[in-house]
Structure 1
Amino acid sequence: MMMPANYSVIAENEMSYVNGGASFIDAIGAVTAPIWTLDSVKTFNTNIVTLVGNTFLNKVVGQTVGVLFSGNTTWKEVGNIGKTLFTTNYAGKDIDKNNFGDYAMNALGIAAAVYNLGVAPTKNMVKENVLDFSVNKV
């Protein structure tokens, strides 16, 4: 009986040797599967958002609440909050200033900072520090 050239008669448990065994992707999956559970992926993503948000936090607070409570607030500054908040850190002259990627990443950073402000409590100076009063005797 004639068989095709790529046909071989072997036992079922030997078939993986004919196919070359597990692929590289299968090997990576076998190593990372116990580590990368759904909870660990969620934690990883939350940590990335927190890191990005922490980077932009000073900018967001400074250019919003900082403007409003600076003691020198004018209506012009209040009106420019959105304009100054969404500017990028572009300092070069050779690159197009209308770089959509910079503005998009800046907006994502601002969103991450706002997310951090919404989900994590801020440090309370009254709660964290002991307050003492000194009385000047006359």
Structure 2
Amino acid sequence: MTTTAMLRAFCDAVEQRNGRAFADLFTDDGVYHDVFYGAFAGRDKIAAMVDDWFYRTAMDFRWDMHDPVSNGTTLYARYTFSYTSTLPEANGSRAMFEGVAIMTLRDGKIVNYHEVANTAPAFVDLKFAPERIAKIVGKQGAELKARPEMKRHRA
């Protein structure tokens, strides 16, 4: 499967609430590190993340990957991601954010998926109170700083 085809299958599976198809893009021991929900290890948990976690408070997903770059073992792609929130305080608002997907590949499958995303605009779109946004964004920043693989990039 080409990189473009894999990324389209990746996005389509989320948009179609097809966790099994999404999980099949990963190795048996694959891990998806979600910017909101944390790590999901193994295909069963990755499938449940899409089918249960993503759709628990959202619908009408749209995910597009842009400008992928890969050396065969690492894949980077910018993305835009949006959804309609089903949270009561969002009143059906649509949220959108941008990020970068970072994937480690083995034998054409995803071993690890990480992302770096600017999620604050999505929370504003959802009409979250400023105090709630600060708490969520602060927690994400602390988690990012705690990740061992990020320490080598700090000056």
Shorter-chain-normalised TM-score: which range?
Answer: under 0.3
Structure number having the greater helix percentage? 1
Greater RCO (CA < 8 Å, at least 6 residues apart)? 1
Q: TM-score, normalised by structure 2?
A: 0.20
Q: TM-score, normalised by structure 1?
A: 0.22
Q: Which has the larger radius of gyration?
A: 1
